[in-house]
């Protein structure tokens, strides 16, 4: 099995892939678009993509979910521990500039403000570590993983600088072949997207079936259709399996109000949700 992730070696997506698929070939991609495009063309490939973070919310890959509509096989919650990395011999008090992904910078904002360090946004955390290693400036640092420190020969100046301990990112494992587990007495997530018919109170009416059948929606997000601010898609997750009679009835009710409806995946609920 080959697993694609976005970022440079040492990125948190790389770490998540190692946790889920330790015996697989793990391949780096420059962009999220590249991950999705390659998986759509090759059914032997799977991708592991960050979808949202516990403290800073959505990562911003929903437009790719809409565009490619790959099947979701699983979710994985990866604990995020941010570290300040510098070249060998550098000291915390001499750091003036820090480089990292916008999400990482936001998640470490309290530490950076306290130390009066200037933030510099880059495309990924591990790539920032590679940049600092290449520049060899003792006034520069990166926010990245411990694996990045090892790969790019950097010192860990300060560990766990994130604003909130217990921070975690939710990853989705996706691919082209459609597959879902059989309905058993377990906890499941059903993920789907839909576009409503253009009529007054359409969203309110469409959600009534979930309330009547006691189905819990854990995610409901709207996104404008391409080149439009009047037509929206909705991305939704619910607790339950699509073959559960109550879930099935709820989705049938929803379908009456939709122009477009697409099941993205049915997969076991990660045990992290029970914490």
Is 234 among the residues known to form the active site?
A: no
The helix (H) or strand (E) run that includes residue 27 is strand 25-29
For the stretch 87-119, pLDDT in tens is 999 999 999 999 999 999 999 999 999 999 999
How many H-runs (helices) and E-runs (strands) does the chain carry? 10, 15
pTM: 0.91
What DSSP character marks residue 272?
G
CA torsion sign for 36, 265, 267, 124 is positive
Mean pLDDT of 162-189: 94
169 is catalytic: yes
Please give the pLDDT value at position 274. Answer: 87
Instruction: Note the pLDDT tens digit of each residue in 130-151.
Output: 999 999 999 999 999 999 999 9
CA 16 – CA 51 distance, rounded (Å): 12
User: What is the pLDDT, as a whole number, of residue 275?
Assistant: 77
Question: Is 33 exposed, middle or buried (CB count within 10 Å of its CB: 0-12, 13-18, 19+)?
Answer: middle
Residue of 171, 194, 234, 267 with catalytic role: 171
What mean pLDDT is predicted for residues 14-37? 96
Q: What is the mean pLDDT of residues 198-226?
A: 91
Please tell me which residue in 169, 190, 194, 233 is annotated as part of the active site. 169
pLDDT at residue 227, rounded to an integer: 67
Structural contact between residues 250 and 215, judged by C-beta atoms closer than 8 angstroms: yes
Give 176-206 pLDDT, tens digit per residue: 999 999 999 999 999 999 999 888 888 999 9
Three-class DSSP category at 76:
strand
pLDDT tens figures, 226-239: 766 667 899 999 99
Contact predicate 223/161, CB 8 Å: no
| All residues at 6 or more sequence positions from 242 whose CB lies less than 8 Å from its CB, including other chains | 180, 190, 248, 251, 263, 266
Q: In sequence order, what are the residues at sequence separation of 6 or more whose Cβ sits closer than 8 angstroms to the Cβ of residue 64?
A: 32, 33, 36, 49
């Amino acid at each position: 099995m080959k697993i694609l992730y976005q970022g440079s070696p040492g990125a948190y997506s790389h770490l998540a892939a190692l946790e889920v698929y330790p015996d697989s070939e793990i391949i780096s991609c420059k962009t999220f678009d590249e991950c999705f495009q390659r998986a759509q063309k090759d059914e032997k490939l799977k991708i592991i993509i960050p979808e949202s973070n516990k403290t800073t919310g959505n990562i911003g890959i929903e437009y790719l979910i809409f565009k490619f509509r790959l099947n979701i096989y699983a979710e994985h919650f990866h604990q995020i521990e941010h570290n300040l990395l510098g070249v060998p011999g550098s000291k915390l008090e001499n750091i003036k500039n820090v480089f990292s992904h916008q999400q990482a910078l936001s998640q470490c904002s309290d530490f950076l403000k306290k130390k009066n360090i200037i933030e510099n946004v880059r495309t990924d955390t591990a790539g920032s570590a590679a940049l600092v290693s290449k520049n060899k400036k003792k006034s520069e640092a990166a926010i990245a993983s411990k694996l990045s420190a090892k790969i790019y020969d950097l010192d860990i100046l300060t560990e766990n600088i994130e604003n909130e301990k217990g921070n975690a990112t939710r990853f989705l494992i996706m691919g082209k072949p459609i597959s879902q587990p059989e309905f058993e007495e377990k906890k499941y997530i059903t993920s789907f997207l839909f576009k409503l018919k253009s009529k007054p109170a359409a969203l309110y009416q469409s959600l009534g079936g979930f309330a009547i059948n006691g189905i819990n929606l854990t995610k409901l997000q709207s996104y404008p259709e391409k080149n439009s601010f009047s037509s929206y898609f909705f991305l939704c997750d619910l607790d339950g399996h699509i073959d559960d009679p109550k879930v099935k009835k709820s989705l049938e009710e929803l379908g009456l109000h939709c122009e477009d409806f697409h099941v993205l995946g049915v997969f076991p609920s990660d045990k992290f949700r029970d914490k």
